[in-house]
Amino acid sequence: MSKFLALNISVSEDGFMAGPNQTETNPVGENGNLLHRWIFPTEAFSAWIGKPGGATGIDNDYVARGFQNIGATIMGRNMFGPVRGPWLDDEWKGWWGDAPNFQHPVFILTHYPRESIDMGNGTIFHFVTEGVEVAHEMSLAVANGKDIRVGGGANTLQQFLEADLLDEIHVAQVPIKLGSGEALFTNPELQLKNFEKLEPIVSPAVVHQTYMRN
């Protein structure tokens, strides 16, 4: 049975998924790129982008799980690309080049309709204007029993929490403070009321905190 998983969600010590002053050229805000440094050296990430080598260990195990048994992905528009407002043309096809390695359907939440994009390797970008519940149903229909990964940004995850549609959340707390930006949890007591907080796992780079649905 498919589960909806928010995995490898990087946050600062003060709870932000992105820094302040986000722009089209700096979509994760000031110093926001520092949140993801723990992922890039891992063997699993290297394999996902088609490069050899990489580090093994605790962090790699978490990153690897984020790619295993995934039949569909859901993300917010800002995670798909820097374009804001109506789609003015069809040039932008995501951050991942001509052959994105998702190799499954990806549903992008947006306020502006756009035709689906078939990238030719199993990755098909679908643009959903009807909200998280519709994206939830659409992804279930194509995942073939595999899990569905729910990515950022913070607003997308908050919408899924509000709709009570997540089964597991894995947060990697990075030892930096951003001061302001986009917070993952705006009311943790309410948003996580249906989740059990597991014992944290500490790596040299981050603290891994997992929340499992009761």
Q: How many other CB atoms are there within 10 angstroms of residue 3's CB atom?
A: 14
User: The whole model's pTM is what?
Assistant: 0.94
Band of residue 47 on the pLDDT scale cut at 50, 70, 90: very high
Strand partners, 147: 70
Contact partners, residue 163, CB within 8 Å, separation at least 6: 132, 133, 136
Over residues 1-33, the pLDDT tens digits come to 899 999 999 999 999 999 888 776 777 878 888
CATH assignment of 4-20+68-84+100-213, among 3.10.20.440, 3.40.718.10, 3.40.430.10, 3.30.930.10:
3.40.430.10
Strand partners, 196: 212
pLDDT at 94 (0 to 100): 86
**Nearest-10 crossing angle of helices 154-162, 132-142:** 90
Q: Write down the domain spans for the chain.
A: 4-20+68-84+100-213
